[in-house]
Chain A
Amino acid sequence: MTCAEIERTSAFLDGELDASAGAEAERHIETCKHCQALVAVAGEASEALRGRAARLRAPASLRARIAQNLADEAKVVRLTSLRPVRRQFWLGAASGVGASAIAAALALAVMVLPAAESLTASLVDDHVQALSSGQTIAVVSSNHHTVKPWFAGRAPLSPPVSDFAGEGFALAGGRVDWVAGGKAAVVVYRHGGHEIDLYVWPSQAVAPPRRSERRGYHVVSWRARDLTLAAVSDVQSDELDRFVRLVQTAVE
């Protein structure tokens, strides 16, 4: 047993109506028994919740555990930011810092090659699977103010999110997926009838090759600060390069 106006009545209680809709809602409530009961019970519930919220205290043991967690996490974050990224190797090599840096960079490149290939494969497989399941987008929005905060708490990082609709690459939304055993933020763009998935995850020792191809899909990957990014799509490779340059410019 209910009334067709309960949404308006409820929004009125929350102060979400403008003046004229509010006045209409008020007039309706005066004549509707259902809405009068709704207002009464909602008022009691509101008071109960507000009263309770103010009196629950987090246990001291929880507070202490959180402080310890944060301290541990702060150490991890510091270590990550100290880890040399590949670009710094090359900068060092170019400025003549030493043969050891070049040797280290080469050793790294050789060592990571097989794993890097499998990373490409897993990115493409994930992209194709998402496309075929039709579940490429968990938050649908062309507004970066909506998409960016959506990732907080869902992904372990905050990905760069911009709309390049003017340049032909429209922001479509985002989702969270798994890359190399960890969570990655995936920012989804559209270009013509194609989809471009931009995977972003915290850098690890292994990164995908700068560019690779698998099953007709192109992957372009690079690092920016302590993040690894990879654009995956079946668009033409020069179009994907153009997209990557836009993202890189936005990140810098």
Chain B
Amino acid sequence: MDNRQTEFEAMAMPHLDAAYSLARWLSRSPTDAEDIVQEAMLRAFRAFDAVRGETVRPWLMAIVRNCFRDHNAKARRHEPASETVLEHLVFDGPSPEAEALGASERRRLDRMLALLPDDYREVLLLREMEDMSYREISEAIGAPIGTVMSRLARARALLKDKWLAEDAR
């Protein structure tokens, strides 16, 4: 096997599950997520020489995010997922460990997260799933830190408003 390939696999493949999770939450579709991750790994391998020594994971996640954007542009699906589409989304079942929320509330939150506009959802996912700093997110999405900050705040405010609105019903 090629040396470069061995080296890449040792650095990138440990992050495959995380890349897949991110792609799945970004795209809200298991099949799209597979296509996105496959493309992302190939792009990462091609650009690999440029990043040796840098932090691999945020770099890889930025590529996943860009692949998702390209994939979306190709599929021309700019509109947010509908509630009916989300019905078919099978997320993992409730975790065995005790959780703050019950299963039905957890599903409600999943649904709200999935319905956030792409611009908001991606910053929230990078922040919460990947624990990236504002600077890292700013580099990943190619936008200023101020934009990252305001999108995160708006994403959370939207979630809060939806949550409270449903409670009030």
Interface residues of A (CB under 8 A from B): 1-2, 6-7, 9-11, 13-14, 16, 34, 37-38, 40-42, 44-53, 55-59, 62-63, 65-67, 69-71, 73-75, 77-78, 138-139, 146, 148-158
Contacts and interface: CB of A to CB of B under 8 A. Distances in A.
Nearest to A158: B50
Given A52-B92, A66-B38, A70-B5, A42 B51 contact: no
17 contacts: A40-B160, A42-B159, A45-B109, A49-B113, A56-B24, A56-B92, A58-B20, A59-B20, A66-B16, A66-B38, A66-B42, A71-B1, A73-B46, A78-B2, A149-B59, A152-B47, A153-B62
Contacts of B157: 2, 6, 38
B30 to A, nearest CB: 8
Contact of B40 (A49, A56, A57, A153): A153
A58 B20 CA distance: 6
Given A70-B42, A154-B66, A155-B47, 8 more contacts: A51-B99, A58-B16, A58-B19, A71-B5, A74-B2, A74-B5, A78-B2, A149-B51
Interface string B130-169: 1001100001001000000110111011011101100000
Nearest to A67: B9
A192 B47 CA distance: 33
Closest 3 CB pairs of A and B: A158-B50, A153-B63, A58-B20
Contacts of A10: 149, 152-153, 156
A46 B126 CA distance: 11
A152 B51 contact: yes
A78 B1 CA distance: 12
Contacts of B164: 37
A134 to B, nearest CB: 18
A146 B62 CA distance: 13
Nearest to A38: B160
B113 A45 contact: yes
Contact of B129 (A49, A146, A155): A49
A183 to B, nearest CB: 10
Contacts of A41: 156, 159-160, 163
A56 to B, nearest CB: 4
B34 A59 contact: yes
A66 B37 contact: yes
A54 to B, nearest CB: 8
Interface in B101-139: 101, 106, 109-110, 113, 124-125, 127-130, 133-134, 139
Contacts of B44: 152-153
Nearest to B64: A153
Contacts of B40: 153
Most buried by A among B21, B91, B124: B21
A7 B150 contact: yes
B45 A49 contact: no
B49 interface: yes
A7 B153 CA distance: 5
A175 B49 CA distance: 20
A96 to B, nearest CB: 34
A103 to B, nearest CB: 34
A69 B129 contact: no
A1 B158 CA distance: 10
Contacts of B50: 148-149, 151-152, 158
A7 B4 CA distance: 43
